[in-house]
Structure 1
Amino acid sequence: MSFYTSLSGLKAAQSDLSTISNNVANVNTTAFKKSKAAFGDIFASAPTQNTRQVAGQGVRVLGINQQFVQGTIETTDKTLDLAVTGEGFFTVRTVGTGGTTSYTRNGAFSVDNNRFVIDTTGARLQVLPVDTAGNITGTTTADLTDLQIPLTKPSDPTIQLASVSVSEKGIIGATYADGTTEPIGAVAMANFASQDGLRQKGDAHWEASISSGNAQYGGAGQGLYGSVRSGALERSNVDITEELVSLISAQRNFQANAKAIETGTAMTQTIIQLRT
């Protein structure tokens, strides 16, 4: 029995090592969120058995939980580099009729050849409609639209675009050559009843699940939604020092369980050799 108990310890230590290794490997991945393995003991006994005379039967992995802690904000001075300070995610949608919606805190956005704002995976940034004063006029899924940067002023195509700005509240403003500025949308921020229930997709993207609940959309800097910083990116929240200490601890646990198996094997061999 000790062999199987220690074997479960080896598997648990291996899972811990894999989780820590993934954290360390993504220390420079923009907006990456570290994970932590959680463990529980295994215990079983018969209904009439005295539990004070029964040892545990090992350990099992309860889950690998994501840690949605704020990462360090790094200044880039690029207007479409956006960082969230606080809670919430950017909303992006893949191109096509069957496009899927996902959520990310990686705000490294750029403009494609069709003037749509896209992220590092090519998904388009979603915005909410605003009025001429910059007030959001809709926050439902049906109100989401792809953000497209205009080349000219909608009311006068002879006036060209001069620059684009993004406020802390996520309002995207287009400044034209005649000096006027018009809001063209508000960055669609999403939040969830349970962030821990989000399903990872890779590339610092997540999608909603039954555990997380449906996305709730709103404007930045309001209630559940953090502010948006233009010209900045959120770095990984991995603390390399903490991870290396955890790596040493996991390695020791692995070695200890391997030693327990070795000791159990030696005891078994001793018993077998008693008659000789």
Structure 2
Amino acid sequence: MSFFTSLSGMKNAETDLRVISHNIANAETAGFKKSNANFSDLVASGSASDPRRTPGIGATVASINQDFSLGPIEQTGRSLDIAINGGGFFATANPISGDLNFTRNGGFVLNASGQLTDSNGDLVQSFPVDANGNATSNVPGNTVVPITNAAGSGLSSITIDRRGVVTAAYSDGTTQPVAEIALASFASTNGLRSLGQSKWEQTGASGPAEFGEPGIGNFGELLSGTLERSNVDLAEEMVALLTAQRNFQANARAIDTATAISQTVLNLQR
């Protein structure tokens, strides 16, 4: 039994190492959120067993939870780089299926059709606005910036303020608010399913997305010209890496000890 107990410890240490390695590998990934592995013990017991003589039989992975705490904000100077200073997620839609994903990575670009997208081509979601930049609906849709205005002048620049209002400036000197970036929140962020590329999708455990305007309620304001970096602390991860390595080595040594004891017992039987 000691073999299987130590084996479960080795498997858990390996899982811990994989989680830590994934964190370290994404230390420079914008919008990345680190994960933590949690473990629980296993006990072989029944209703008729003596609780004072019940041995443990190892450990198992209880959960791998993501830490959605705010990462450091880095200045980029690029107007379409946006960080959320507080709670919420950007929502992006797959241009083919329309499925929504959610991200903290606000590195956006404008395509040739005037659509605001992320680096993967998914469409950034926003609310329609009136001439004063006030949202006219709480149902988000694709963000489209007119390439030319009514006078036929071409687009010269785009700005996004802390309220998420996207304003287009044209070559004739006119400006026009075109949308307000929508933010999403969830009843349980730990219930979100990670998709990679700093994106998540909602699940039954997370609850449905609730959309709102930046800077209102629990939604953070937007910081233009900045990006949120990974919230991985390399010093913490290196200490955790050494601890996981020691745990693996200790369980391996326990297997060596169990093997030596078994060999001794076998020799006594000869």
Tell whether the structures are fold-level matches, with TM greater than 0.5: yes
Q: Deviations over 1:204-260 (max 9, x none)?
A: 000110000000001101112111111111111101110000000000000000000
Say which of 127, 146, 152 aligns to 2:148: 152
Partner of 1:128: 127
- Separation in 2, partners of 1:5, 1:37: 19
Partner of 2:44: 44
CA contact (8 A) 2:113 2:147 kept: no
- Separation in 2, partners of 1:86, 1:108: 17
SS in 2 for 1:108: coil
Q: Deviations over 1:85-110 (max 9, x none)?
A: 111000100112x2211001111111
Say which of 190, 202, 205 aligns to 1:196: 190
Query: So what's the TM-score if we normalise by structure 2?
Result: 0.97
CA contact (8 A) 2:81 2:107 kept: yes
Structure 2 matches for 1:106-121, cutoff 5 A? 106-121=105-120
Is residue 2:85 matched to residue 1:85? Answer: yes
Is residue 2:72 matched to residue 1:76? Answer: no
Structure 2 matches for 1:1-276, cutoff 5 A? 1-96=1-96, 98-139=97-138, 143-153=139-149, 156-276=150-270
CA contact (8 A) 2:162 2:221 kept: yes
CA contact (8 A) 2:84 2:228 kept: yes
The number of equivalent residue pairs is 270
- Separation in 2, partners of 1:239, 1:145: 36
Identity across aligned pairs (percent)?
45
SS in 1 for 2:63: strand
- Separation in 2, partners of 1:275, 1:94: 69
Unaligned runs of 5+ in 2: none
Give how far 1:178 is off: 4.1
Give how far 1:158 is off: 2.6
Give how far 1:51 is off: 1.0
Q: Deviations over 1:134-163 (max 9, x none)?
A: 221222xxx32211221222xx23333332
Give how far 1:116 is off: 1.1
SS in 1 for 2:227: strand
Give how far 1:81 is off: 0.6
- Separation in 1, partners of 2:93, 2:188: 21
Query: So what's the TM-score if we normalise by structure 1?
Result: 0.95
